Amino acid sequence: MIQASGDLFLNVKEEITIYDKIFFSMRNLDLVTGYKEQINEKNKPSNLNRDMLHVLFGSKARFFVSNDVKTRKKAKITYRALNIKTKVLSLEEFIYISFLKKINNIVKKLYLFYTIKR
């Protein structure tokens, strides 16, 4: 018997993959009022599957970037519950963080350049 993290997965007799855990988390969050997606002409069930796959693939990256607020909320909860270190960001946040890192590196290089020249 394999015991996975979290009470929801105790006493399961076969191995539960990260795919299974993310799928389970995302599907359950789709049922909760604050995270529920409305199914209509624009937002079809296939969009929910695409979001879930996006979260799954994002779990292997440093950053998960999406402008879909509900998907970001569900990704944050899922990653936190599964102890996945991926940072969840909007595109604006990602660009801002990337820009700050580049500026910081430039400032460090300039500082080193001018301190060495003196």
**pLDDT for 4-16, tens place per residue?**
455 555 666 678 8
Once rounded to an integer, what is the mean pLDDT over residues 19-36? 86
Looking at the DSSP bridge assignments, the partners of residue 12 are 2
The SS3 call for residue 5 is: coil
- Scanning the structure block, which residue is given the tokens 């997965």? 9
Q: How confident is the model at residue 58 (pLDDT cuts 50, 70, 90)?
A: very high
Q: Are 72 and 88 in contact (CB under 8 A)?
A: yes
Per-residue pLDDT at 84 exceeds 90: yes
Helices 69-81 and 18-29 pack at an angle, to 10 degrees, of 130
For residues 115 and 26, the model is more confident at 26
